[in-house]
Amino acid sequence: MEPLAFVEVLGRHNDVLARHAVYRWPARIGRGYDMDVILDDRFVAARHLQIEPAADGRFALTDLQSLNGISLPPSDKRMSAAEVGPDDVVRLGQTQLRVRAPSYAVRAERPLRATAVYRRPVAFAIMAAVLLGLAFWNSWVVATHEEERAFLAFSIVLIFVAAGIWVSIWALVSRTVGGRSNFSGHGFVACAGLTALALWDTLVEYLSFGFDAHWLKHFGTLGAAAIFAYMVYRHLRLNSRAVRSRLGIAAMIVSVTAYGVGTGFQIASDSARQGVQRYSQALKAPLFLMVSGVSPEAFVAEGETLKRKVDAMARAEP
C-alpha cells in the first residue's frame, strides 16, 4: 500500500528528526497508541490533531479539542483549525510538524565537501605547537634568570590545562547539541585565538613603546576583545546552525562581559599601585623607538637637579 502523505517531526532548526508515513484519511496525531502518528510529548493530548487532504496539495488541520491546541510558527496564536502547505510548520505541544505529499519535489543533492582544514586533527596539532612555541619564546624574552623561567614554564602548563578544559567544555556542548564533539575544530579555534591574542598583545606593546604612547594599551584592549569575540563566534558556529547574526551578537555579549570585568579589575589594581613606577618586563631594541627621547646630557642634568632637591630635603629634616 502506497503512503498518502508523510508527517515529519522537526527539530529547533527545522531539521527532520523523524518521518512517519500516513496510509489513511483522516489521519490522527497524538500520544495515544491508537493514533496514526504517535508523539512522545507530554504536552500533546492523547487525541490531538486530525489531518485531511485539501485542494491544491494542501492539508486541512483540525484540533481535536486538546488542552494546548495548535499554532503556526512564528505565531503563538492558538487555532482550532488551519490549512497548511508542504513548507508550513505546525506546532502542537512542544513538537513541530510538517506534512508533505509523496509527490513533493525535493531539492537537488548538494555536492560533498571535504572536511574543513581547521577541523582536522593535524591542523589542531600544528596550531597547538605554534602556540606552545610562542609561549616559550615570550617566557624566554621576559625571564632574566632560571628561577623566573621555571615559574613561567609552570604558568604555561596552567594555561594549556585551562585551554584543554575550555576546549573540552565546547566539545561536550557540541556532542550534546549536535551529536558530534568536533574536538579538533574547537581545539584549533582555541589555539588560534590564544595565538592571535598573544601576537596582538606583543604588537600593541611594541607600538606603545615605539611611539611612547601608553594610551595605545586601551586600544589594545578593544582589539583583544574583538579577537576573543570572534573566537567565541567560531566555537558557536561549530555547535549551532542558528542565524549567524544571532551567534555574532551572543559572542559580542560574552566578550564585552568578560573584558568589562577584566578591565574593572585592572583599573582597581592600577589604583592600588598609584605612584609605583611602571616598566616593561621585556627589553626592546632602540630600533623600535619611533620618537626622539631625552638626550643623555639632559637626562644627567635632570638627575643632578633631582639629587640636589633630595639632598636639601635630607638636610632640612630634624
For the chain, the distance separating the N- and C-terminal CA atoms, rounded to the nearest angstrom, is 113
Q: How far is residue 111's CA from residue 132's CA, in Å, rounded to a whole number?
A: 37
Three-class SS of residue 21? strand
Each residue of 113-133: pLDDT tens digit? 777 888 889 999 999 999 988
State the average pLDDT for the chain: 86
pLDDT, position 263: 79
pLDDT band, residue 278 (cuts 50/70/90): low
Instruction: Using the predicted structure, report yes or no on whether residue 14 has a pLDDT greater than 60.
Output: yes
Torsion sign, CA atoms 39, 41, 47, 48: negative
pLDDT, position 25: 95
Each residue of 213-223: pLDDT tens digit? 777 777 888 99
Kindly give, in sequence order, each residue whose CB lies less than 8 Å from that of residue 274, ignoring residues fewer than 6 positions away.
none
pLDDT band, residue 276 (cuts 50/70/90): low
Instruction: Using the predicted structure, report yes or no on whether residue 294 has a pLDDT greater than 90.
Output: no
pLDDT, position 234: 94
Each residue of 169-211: pLDDT tens digit? 999 998 888 778 899 999 999 999 999 998 998 888 888 877 7
Instruction: Using the predicted structure, report yes or no on whether residue 281 has a pLDDT greater than 60.
Output: no
- Amino acid (one-letter) located at 134: L
Instruction: Using the predicted structure, report yes or no on whether residue 147 has a pLDDT greater than 90.
Output: no
Instruction: Using the predicted structure, report yes or no on whether residue 30 has a pLDDT greater than 60.
Output: yes
Torsion of the alpha carbons at 249, 252, 258 and 260, rounded to the nearest 10 = -110
Greater pLDDT, 135 or 36: 36
Torsion sign, CA atoms 90, 96, 102, 106: positive
Instruction: Using the predicted structure, report yes or no on whether residue 87 has a pLDDT greater than 70.
Output: yes
Residue 156 phi, psi (nearest 5): -65, -40
Q: Is the peptide bond before 53 cis (omega within 30 degrees of 0)?
A: no
Torsion sign, CA atoms 195, 197, 199, 202: negative
pLDDT, position 284: 67
Q: Are 288 and 210 in contact (CB under 8 A)?
A: yes
pLDDT band, residue 148 (cuts 50/70/90): low
Greater pLDDT, 209 or 284: 209
Provide the total of helices (H) and of strands (E) in the chain, helices listed first: 6, 10
Q: How far is residue 93's CA from residue 41's CA, in Å, rounded to a whole number?
A: 7
For the chain, how many residues are written? Answer: 318
The residues with which 49 forms a beta bridge, in sequence order, are 29, 63
Residue 297 phi, psi (nearest 5): -65, -45
Instruction: Using the predicted structure, report yes or no on whether residue 277 has a pLDDT greater than 60.
Output: no
